Amino acid sequence: MWTTPPSLFADEVGDELDRTYRKFAINVYNNLQALSPVDTGRYKRSHHISIGSPSYAETGGGIGLVLGLPRHTYPLVYFQNNLPYGLRLEHGHSQQAPTGVYLNAFNSAVASL
């Protein structure tokens, strides 16, 4: 038996879930920026976010897409870099990022929850 009816705190739980969802997505994106190896900067500038389905463009949306989502909606968020050499960088072909970028960015965002 509930001492406090769930209806009294359901909105608070929903709001916290919304904040956590957005914070996580923003942290992943910011981590991608911070962890990217830089030569010309093209790779770092080519990280992008798409909502609901992957994008195959070389550039695209940023955190504004996540911030612009209606509250209490949680579509799948894709973080991508579609440059031809992006996969090589993810597999450690850079002395600046020998363990890759995306997995480290994701794991760091998980650790900050």
Token representation of residue 95: 């002395």
Measure the CA–CA gap between 105 and 111, rounded to whole angstroms. Answer: 10
> Within a domain: residue 38?
yes
Task: Provide the residue range defining the domain that includes 63.
Answer: 15-111
At residue 6, the pLDDT reads: 82
pLDDT for residue 110 is more than 80: yes
The closest alpha carbon to 43, from 84, 9, 78, belongs to 84
Measure the CA–CA gap between 48 and 87, rounded to whole angstroms. Answer: 15
What pTM value is reported for the model? 0.90
> Within a domain: residue 72?
yes
> Within a domain: residue 76?
yes
> Within a domain: residue 105?
yes
> Within a domain: residue 30?
yes
Strand-strand pairing, 48-51 and 77-80: antiparallel
Query: Which residue has tokens 């969802």?
Result: 21
pLDDT in tens, 44-66: 999 999 999 999 888 889 999 99
